[in-house]
Structure 1
């Protein structure tokens, strides 16, 4: 193993340990000593990679942002319609959050705005929903008279609510739950001629997008102690 590979392995181990510590105790109560111990490295190794707890939190936010944006880019590139892309993105978001504790912790930290960060992934999701609904309206995919702003609120509140509820029960982020949500909602927002072409369970693009995000290293699982 090269020096660079060892450094990457150590960094991944620290991010995983930090995600676990932040989720168990919250940012304020999380301890650097517990993070380094969980990662199997010395305190010096931790500070070699991250100056302080704020730097660890910022790295987790960046990892979550990168993973979720990568999934969104892939879904957009392979889109069939704005509404199907919105369904696919909701599945990809839920799947990545369910499968990766690093992304989950980074997402939560970004939403809480710890240390005054400007990154808020919930707000980014809201903007994404607004944009796709506007595109769906331009494509004449929505039922007549639907109020886009109200619909955006329902979609954002519901999907973010799944993330909040999943902290005690991960099934809230399951494909079954997200599919059921769309099965109820789509008949009330999609034009009848559009509905038959939509898959509430998500297309292959949704699964490819979440897999791509996870494969890029956002579920670090080092085996044994990591070297600095």
Structure 2
């Protein structure tokens, strides 16, 4: 596990901190589509993502979801950290976007490392900053962009994360992530196909001119 940690987090952490993480961390593998954290759950560990991608979702009062942001290799979830330290229930849902490998860290170590290691403090603060910027980007997208633009950006981001021009999602799944309806998403995808930007297949979308 130590080699995976060093590969994913480079020179971010001191050698002594790498050694402690390897000693107390729980290496976990999660398959694509599996839930990692559920809304209302008490979070007992903080994840460090070694490989793959995780999507973070928020749910409204009617049970509809909205994609907030993705976590990728070298990331952690600041919302999870807040729940761990405050012993509060999770307000987000985390689902493996791809097959994922991560290390779960015990809550008791988080405060200890904050006092002990400067690199850990910097990592935590940077994580909060990055997630806040991503949330602001999501808010800006909802407030200032039409669904056409949001859909294009969504497809581009999915393609980047999967390193593939093939998006394996149903129209309903895309609608759920964008907090829209399947009818609207299907209509906009047909429009993109007419413009020659994508090719629609059953449960798949091939990006052509992106």
TM-score, reference length from structure 1: 0.24
Larger relative strand fraction: 2
Higher relative CO (Cα under 8 Å, sequence separation at least 6) belongs to 1
TM-score, reference length from structure 2: 0.25
